[in-house]
Every structure is written in C-alpha cells, then in structure tokens.
C-alpha cells in the first residue's frame, strides 16, 4: 500500500515538473521575441504657425579682413625662399617670397660692361669733335711740315671761284659728322643705363615684400617650385581690422544707408554686437538683385577671417506683419544657408532652404521665405536625416 502511494506521488511530481518546465521555456522564448521587434524611430512633427515678429531681416555674411592682397609672381623662375607658413606674422617690408635671381645678376654684370664701353665711346667722340674744331685737317698738316695746309690757303679760294668745291661746306660736313658720332655714343650710353634699370626692376620683382603689417592667410608655393608670371604665391592680410561682407537685397539699401550701424551676430553664437556701415558697393548683382555691403567689426571682438556672421537689418515695412515662426531646433545649416525638413502627406521628407528673420520674445525664429503657415516640419532633425526618408 505504501509503495503504491509513493508511486502515485512520484508520478504527480514528475508531471508537475514537466508542466513547469514547459511554462518556463515558453516564457523564455516569448521575452526575446518581443525584445527583438524593431522599434519605430520617433520623429516629432510640428505645424508652422504665424506670429507677429519684429521688423528685422537676418542676412548671412562672411568675416573678411579689411586689407587683403594676393601676391603673384612677376617673372618666371624657381622659388628660392618662402618666409613662413599660414598664420605667421610679418612687419611691413619683410621679405615673404624670393625667386632665384642668378641669371638676372649675370645680366646685370653684362649690362654694366656695355655701359662702360658706351661711355668710353662717348668720351672718344667728344675728343674727336674737339680736335676737328681746334685743328682742322690735322692729319694732312702733319705731312711735309704743314705744306698741304699752306697750299690749301691758295687752292681753296681758286676751287671756289672755279666752282670745283666749297671749302666752307666741307668744314661744316666734317664737324657735323663728328657731332653725329657724339650723339650716337650718347644714345649708346643711355641704352646701356636703361638695360641696367630693367635688370634692377626684374631683381625687385624677384622678391615679394609685405605691403603692410599682417599674417599669411594662404601659402600656394614651396621652396623649389617653378612659377610663371601671374601664378599666385601667398595671400597676405591684416587681421587686426575685420569686416563683415553681406549681400543686401536692393530694397533694404535705403535702410542700411540711413541706419549707419546695425546689429550682427557671429558664428560662435555670441551676443549681438553693433557694426558700422563702411562701404556700399555702387553696382548691384544683376542675377541676385543684391548689393555688396561691408560692415566694420568693433575692436576687441573675437573673430577670424572666413567666419560666418549674421547681420540684422531693420525693415520698417514688416514691423507689424505676421511671419511663419519655427523653433530654432528645426533649423539645419547647409554651409551658410539655413534649411528645414518638410514632411509630406505620405511622410516623406524634403529639404527646403529658407531665409530667417528676427527672433521672437518666446525664442522662436521668424521665417521670411521658404515655407508658409500650415506646413509640417521636423521639430528636431538629426545630422543623419536625409531627404526622401
């Protein structure tokens, strides 16, 4: 009896254990299956709303030096010396780039020798002229103790009377010929001096000097390079005085000229600063209908050449106008151009370039063009977001 009961109990326990094992196995397989299901990527989509923004138009620009020059080669040759690299500072008159001038120095020695020969010829022509003036027919008079000269005192008048010669004109011709020799010798001297000046000018062109205090922004050659006339060598600029170059729509030029100064914001997201209008270009771009305007940055502002900047120009015509507004997080920058991702009815994304305006008191950004009220955009797109996804 005890053995029968024991057998029943063991069988029950085995059955219960099998059921428990099946339940645990089902639970273990169910949990990973649920965990492996792909989770949808959350994308917050917002609708563009309208809000009264201030009358400011934000235009993108670039920080540039007020003084910048591109030094180029004035003669062919090998680069013999380069002063430094990008960022090195040099004072006015310092040597920046020098070309090999061995051949030019040899030409100068040749030109100096030509000048010495021409000068000797010029001095000889003067002596010969003076001899003809003070001792005419000196060579013939040396023969027979001056008898030919004495005979000419009687023969010359007879020849003139008989029409067989003109002793006066012969004298004039002799002096004129000696004068021509002097003039020819003088021209040879001037020609030799001009050749020396030409070589000296070429020697000066072989060396590029700093036109003002500044730094090298870009270096295009290295020692040993072969250059031709017109090839760029270095870009040199004075970075102590910087400006913002902006393409301003033609309709805002009157406001810019009247204001005299506007506010600007640099790429480092600093507080707005006042920039003064320095120059308004006299001609507009026919394609974009914009005019280049330069604004002076105040002293002490931390900026460098090539930095992106935004200039906020007042637009009185739009002070009370309602513009589309979006959060700052929805804006992506493609170079210096702001853009947003439009969400289509089917959920696809389209990249749309926009022009932004002033900031609203609640931190939103007004949009001047590119999107309209009612459009749906991504509120916070990531760097990996792509159009068409």
pLDDT tens, position by position, 43-68: 788 988 877 655 677 888 999 999 99
Q: What pTM, to 2 d.p., does this model score?
A: 0.55
Which pLDDT value is given to residue 155?
60
Query: Tell me: the pLDDT tens digits for 292-334?
Result: 999 999 888 888 888 888 888 877 666 555 678 888 888 888 7
Is residue 164 over pLDDT 70? Answer: no
Which pLDDT value is given to residue 58?
81
Model confidence at 288, pLDDT cuts 50, 70, 90, reads: confident
Of the two residues 336 and 369, the one the predictor is more confident about is 369
DSSP alpha helix (H) spans, 2-56: 2-35
Task: Tell me the average pLDDT across 108-130.
Answer: 92
Tokens of 67: 């003084």
Whole-angstrom distance, CA of residue 75 vs CA of residue 200 = 13
Query: Tell me: the pLDDT tens digits for 216-235?
Result: 999 999 999 999 999 999 99
Which pLDDT value is given to residue 226?
93
Task: Tell me the average pLDDT across 131-136.
Answer: 79
Q: Mean of the per-residue pLDDT values for the chain?
A: 79
Model confidence at 4, pLDDT cuts 50, 70, 90, reads: very low
Is residue 33 over pLDDT 70? Answer: no
Among candidates 182, 219, 201, 207, which has minimal Cα distance to 73? 207
Kindly provide the b/e burial profile for residues 60-95, where b requires at least 16 CB atoms within 10 angstroms of the residue's own CB.
Answer: bbbbbbbbebebbbbeebebeebbeeeeeebeeeee
């Amino acid at each position: 009896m005890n053995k029968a009961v024991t057998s029943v109990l063991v069988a029950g326990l085995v059955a219960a254990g099998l059921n428990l094992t099946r339940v645990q196995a089902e639970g273990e397989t169910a949990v990973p299956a649920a965990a492996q299901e792909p989770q949808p990527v959350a994308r917050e989509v917002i609708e563009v709303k309208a809000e009264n923004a201030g009358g400011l138009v934000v235009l993108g620009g670039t920080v540039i030096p007020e003084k910048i020059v591109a030094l180029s080669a004035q003669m062919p040759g090998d680069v013999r010396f380069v002063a430094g690299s990008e960022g090195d500072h040099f004072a006015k008159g310092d040597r920046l780039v020098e070309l090999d001038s061995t051949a030019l120095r040899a030409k100068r020695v040749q030109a100096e020798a030509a000048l010495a020969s021409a000068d000797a010829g010029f001095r000889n022509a003067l002596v010969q002229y003076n001899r003809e003036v003070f001792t005419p027919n000196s060579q013939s008079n040396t023969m027979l103790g001056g008898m030919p000269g004495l005979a000419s005192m009687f023969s010359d008048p007879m020849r003139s009377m008989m029409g067989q010669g003109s002793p006066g004109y012969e004298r004039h011709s002799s002096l004129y010929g000696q004068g021509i020799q002097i003039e020819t010798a003088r021209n040879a001297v001037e020609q030799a001096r001009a050749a020396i000046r030409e070589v000296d000018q070429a020697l000066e062109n072989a060396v590029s000097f700093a036109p003002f205090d500044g730094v090298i922004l870009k270096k295009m050659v290295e020692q040993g390079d072969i250059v031709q006339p017109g090839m760029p060598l270095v870009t040199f600029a004075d970075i102590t005085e910087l400006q913002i170059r902006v393409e301003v729509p033609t309709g805002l030029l009157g406001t810019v000229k009247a204001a005299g100064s506007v506010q600007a914001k640099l790429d480092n997201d600093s507080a707005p600063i006042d920039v003064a209008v320095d120059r308004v270009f006299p001609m507009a771009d026919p394609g974009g209908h914009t005019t280049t305007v330069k604004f002076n940055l105040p002293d002490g502002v931390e900026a460098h050449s090539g930095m992106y900047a935004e200039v906020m120009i007042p637009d009185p015509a739009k002070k009370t106008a309602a513009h589309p507004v979006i959060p700052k997080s929805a804006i992506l920058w493609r170079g210096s151009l702001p853009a947003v991702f439009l969400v289509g009815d089917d959920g696809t994304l389209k990249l749309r370039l926009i022009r932004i305006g002033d900031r609203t008191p609640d931190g939103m950004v007004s949009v001047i063009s590119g999107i309209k009220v009612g459009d749906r955009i991504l509120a916070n797109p990531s760097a990996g977001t792509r159009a068409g996804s």
